[in-house]
Amino acid sequence: MTSPLTRLALAALLAAAVPAITPAKAQTALSDGQILKGLEGLSEKAPTITAQQLRSMVQTHMAQNPGEALTRPSLALKLDQLPQINVQIQFRLGSAIIEPSSYGTLGAIADAMHNPILHGYKFIVTGNTDVTGPREVNLKLSQARADAVVSALVTVFNVNPTRLEAVGLGEEVLLDAKRPTDPINRRVQIFTVGRLAPYVAQR
């Protein structure tokens, strides 16, 4: 029989292995090691996705689902096969200004991206809001926030700009579709989406 302690350890291990579904509170404390684990291991068989495709998916979803925010379906990106992480970055209310309390988290993301294991890869950084507030405003805000994260990674923490693209997903892709107004849905997601051309200057 498994002791409670072993089961607890196993649960912790499983939680660490699947950062994409770790609860919000744990996400703020993601270490660069956990971020690395979440973003490494892109399979050759994984679906390919571009920033442009993601933006069209959002536009199509918004056009086809004009209904009320609390009842309309969440957009399923179907990107579960891509290495990915969810992180909580704190922004000023209704703004794309990153709070100082999240500078360390941004640095941890940069540490992972600067690791040779991830050197050869490109990423899409998405911004997501909850359904509070006007839908179009949330779409713009989420794009501005994703842009701010990319800008900080590139200009402060020296990640090569050709490796990063920012996409605002607005309030369309909920982490907890049953609770659309829950702040857990406000998050930044990062997906590993492909390799850089070989021998490109890597940083």
Partner 1 sequence: MSYAQAGALLARSCGPDINKFCSNVNLGEGKLLACMDGKINQVSAKCKADYATAKTSIAERDAAQDSIQEVCSADTARLCPGMVPQDGNLLSCLLQATRVVSDRCNAAITNAGYR
Q: Tell me how many residues contact partner 1 (CB under 8 A).
A: 34
Residues 90-109 that bind partner 1 (CB under 8 A): 92, 96-98, 100-108
How far apart, in Å, are the Cα atoms of 166 and each of 85, 94, 116, 138, 144? 15, 18, 22, 15, 9
From 18-26, 78-86, 110-118, 185-193, span contacting partner 1 (CB under 8 A):
110-118
Rounded to an integer, what distance in angstroms lies between the CA atom of residue 74 and that of residue 24?
19
60 belongs to the binding site for partner 1 (CB under 8 A): no
Rounded to an integer, what distance in angstroms lies between the CA atom of residue 70 and that of residue 48?
31
Residue type, 50: T
Task: Determine the distance from the C-alpha atom of residue 54 to the mean position of all C-alpha atoms in its chain, rounded to a whole number.
Answer: 13
Which of 62, 120, 180, 184: binder of partner 1 (CB under 8 A)? Answer: 120
Which of 55, 114, 135, 140: binder of partner 1 (CB under 8 A)? Answer: 114
- Rg of the chain over Cα atoms, rounded to whole angstroms, equals 17
79 belongs to the binding site for partner 1 (CB under 8 A): no
Which residues form the interface with partner 1 (CB under 8 A)? 31-32, 40, 92, 96-98, 100-108, 110-111, 114-120, 148, 151-152, 154-158, 203
